[in-house]
């Protein structure tokens, strides 16, 4: 008899963004004259830059001629893109990563959801709390997380590592020993990050306990401070214990274009088995390659002009981050992030819960953000605003917040 994968039935509803959408819809219906500004979802607003567009147009034209047409892309990605990534993102920074250790994909969401497949179901995962939900949900779907405890809002077989203001958003090493450790740095949602010395302690810890770190660097382009590492491979020993996932979404505005990559170093082995060959097998079996046009767009990101243009995009959003951070700080809010990340994580005022503050901000300032509790129980009492809006909307949102929270 056919049976469904019952692990899916254990998943809590994807409550966060649907509840936000419902609340905003109800507010707009009741207040049709009020303009709502959305600083909630982490999608970008600025268009693709000229060098990237030009490369895409050229690739589209190539696809229209028999001599330059491209069919299936190599599963692991075109060499022109893998080489550009290896050179610019790693070798220029002194990290030893070769082009054939890079696996091109359609984005970091797919990779961060799929990577767990190459590990045994008995592996225990450790995640920070709050956390980007994909890490936990993908493991829960596979049956690795136990049961969901509605009351505690936690899975019974997941090791949670709280990241709060009390520990400076630097989680302590867990008491129980994990097999897989998910780290997202700079962090979504807290916007905080680790220094190289702090990250090195995680690499040393993973090496000591025999765990693998799954390092999500989707927001790497937003790092502005000197002592913050741009890759986990800046740390000694990381090639033997870490996989790094990257995205073109937030640095180059590819959220609707779709491109990312995973680095699986050849030195990374579990009980003698190289994870590189497992991921190559998985990728080759289940993924038919990112489109040629998009990989050419990705290649353009690494040209001098492309690099300059994407720095412009990042600066644009970081100017919003500054406006939000400084505006909220001047009002006496306790504010984190927004320096090395496009997210501002604030403590809700007057001990409001995350959802109470969501309602308050929506009704008083007509601004939408994301309740911190939606990212995990330790996010309760916090709230996330994103810097991905336009300058105009961000400035307007802050003016309204200043008027209403003086
Ligand atoms: N990882 C983190 C931490 C994210 O916040 C996001 C998107 O918001 C992603 C991955 C997804 O990136 P992509 O658009 O490349 O799938």
**Domain containing residue 249: CATH number:** 3.40.640.10
In a shared domain, residues 351 and 273: no
Q: pLDDT-based confidence at 174, cuts 50/70/90? A: very high
Please tell me whether residues 284 and 315 are part of one structural domain. Answer: no
Chain CA centroid to CA 22, Å: 24
Distance 188 CA to ligand 1 centre (A): 9
Residue 345: helix, strand or coil by DSSP? strand
Please tell me whether residues 200 and 92 are part of one structural domain.
yes
Half-sphere CA count of 121, side-chain side, radius 13 A: 7
What's residue 142's pLDDT? 98
| pLDDT of residue 22 exceeding 80 | yes
Question: What is the C-alpha to C-alpha distance for residues 297 and 172, in angstroms, rounded to an integer?
Answer: 40
Residue at a domain's end among 282, 303, 324: 303
145 and 184 inside one domain: yes
| Distance in angstroms (rounded) separating the CA atoms of residues 56 and 83 | 19
3 occurs within a structural domain: no
Query: What is the reported pLDDT for 265?
Result: 98
Is there an atom of ligand 1 within 6 Å of 184 CB? Answer: yes
The answer to whether 249 and 43 are in contact (CB under 8 A) is: no
Q: What is the largest CA-CA distance in the chain?
A: 66
The answer to the question of residue 1 being in a domain is no
Q: How confident is the model at residue 16 (pLDDT cuts 50, 70, 90)?
A: confident
Residue 406 confidence (pLDDT) above 90: no
Residue 297's contacts (CB-CB under 8 Å, 6 or more residues apart) are 48, 52, 55, 56, 59, 254, 257, 259
How many structural domains does the chain have? 2
Q: Whose CA is nearest to atom 5 of ligand 1?
A: 188
Ligand 1: centre distance to CA 104 (Å):
15
pLDDT band at 42 (very low <50, low <70, confident <90, very high): confident
pLDDT at 14 over 80: no
Which atom of ligand 1 is found nearest the CA of 109? 16
Q: Is the CB of 376 under 6 A from ligand 1?
A: no
- Cα of 164 vs centre of ligand 1, distance in Å, is 22
Q: Output the pLDDT for position 13.
A: 80
Q: So what's the pLDDT on residue 181?
A: 98
Which of 259, 277, 303 is where one domain is finished?
303
pLDDT on residue 361: 98
| 259 and 377 part of one domain | no
Q: Final residue of a domain: which of 258, 277, 303? A: 303
Q: Is pLDDT of 270 > 90?
A: yes
Q: Is the peptide bond before 130 cis (omega within 30 degrees of 0)?
A: yes
What does the angle CA 205 – CA 209 – CA 215 come to, to the nearest 5 degrees?
Answer: 55
- Ligand 1 pocket member 260 (CB < 6 A): yes
CA 44 to ligand 1 center in whole angstroms: 12
Residues 171 and 223 in one domain: yes
Q: What are the structure tokens assigned to 259, written together? A: 């491109």
Are residues 143 and 198 part of one domain? yes
Domain that holds residue 364: 8-47+306-404
Examine the pLDDT at 106 and tell me if it is beyond 80.
yes
pLDDT of residue 238: 98
pLDDT of residue 41: 83
| 85 and 58 in a common domain | yes
What pLDDT is stored for residue 304 in this prediction? Answer: 98
Above 90 in pLDDT, residue 48?
yes
The structure tokens listed for 331 are 């009002």
Pocket test for ligand 1, best of 218, 250, 259 (most atoms within 8 A of CB): 218
> In Å, how far from its chain's centre is CA 88?
20
How far apart are the two ends of the chain, measured CA to CA in Å?
63
């Amino acid at each position: 008899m056919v049976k469904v994968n019952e692990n899916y039935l254990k998943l809590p509803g994807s409550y966060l963004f649907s509840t936000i959408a419902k609340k905003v819809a109800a507010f707009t219906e009741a207040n049709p004259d009020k303009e709502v500004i959305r600083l909630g979802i982490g999608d970008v607003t600025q268009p693709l830059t000229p060098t990237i567009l030009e490369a895409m147009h050229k690739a589209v034209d190539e696809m229209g001629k028999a001599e330059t047409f491209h069919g299936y892309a190599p599963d692991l990605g075109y060499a022109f893109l893998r080489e550009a990534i290896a050179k610019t993102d790693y070798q220029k920074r002194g990290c030893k990563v070769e082009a054939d250790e890079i696996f091109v994909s359609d984005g970091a969401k797919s990779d961060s959801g799929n990577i767990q497949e190459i590990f045994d179901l008995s592996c225990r995962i450790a995640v920070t709390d709050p956390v980007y939900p994909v890490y936990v949900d993908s493991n829960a779907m596979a049956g690795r997380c136990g049961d969901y405890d509605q009351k505690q809002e936690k899975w019974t077989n997941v090791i949670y590592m709280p990241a709060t203001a009390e520990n400076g958003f630097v989680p302590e090493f867990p008491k129980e020993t994990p097999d897989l450790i998910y780290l997202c740095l700079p962090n979504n949602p807290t916007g905080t990050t680790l220094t190289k010395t702090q990250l090195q302690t995680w690499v040393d810890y993973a090496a000591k306990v025999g765990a693998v770190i799954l390092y999500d660097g989707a927001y790497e382009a937003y790092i502005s401070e000197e002592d913050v590492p741009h890759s986990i491979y800046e740390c000694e020993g990381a090639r033997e214990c870490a996989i790094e996932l990257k995205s073109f979404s937030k640095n180059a505005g590819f959220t609707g274009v779709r491109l990312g990559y995973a680095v699986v170093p050849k030195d990374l082995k579990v009980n003698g088995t190289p994870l590189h060959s497992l991921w190559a097998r998985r990728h080759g079996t289940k993924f038919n390659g990112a489109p040629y046009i998009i990989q050419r767009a990705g290649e353009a990101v690494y040209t001098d002009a492309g690099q300059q243009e994407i720095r412009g995009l990042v600066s644009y959003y970081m100017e919003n981050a500054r406006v939000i951070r400084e505006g909220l700080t001047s009002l006496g809010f306790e504010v984190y992030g927004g320096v090395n990340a496009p997210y501002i994580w604030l403590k809700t005022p007057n001990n409001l819960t995350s959802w109470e503050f969501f309602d308050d901000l929506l009704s008083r300032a007509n601004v939408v953000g994301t309740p911190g509790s939606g990212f995990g129980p330790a996010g309760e009492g916090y709230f996330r605003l994103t810097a991905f809006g336009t300058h105009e909307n961000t400035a307007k949102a802050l003016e309204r917040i200043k008027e209403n929270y003086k």
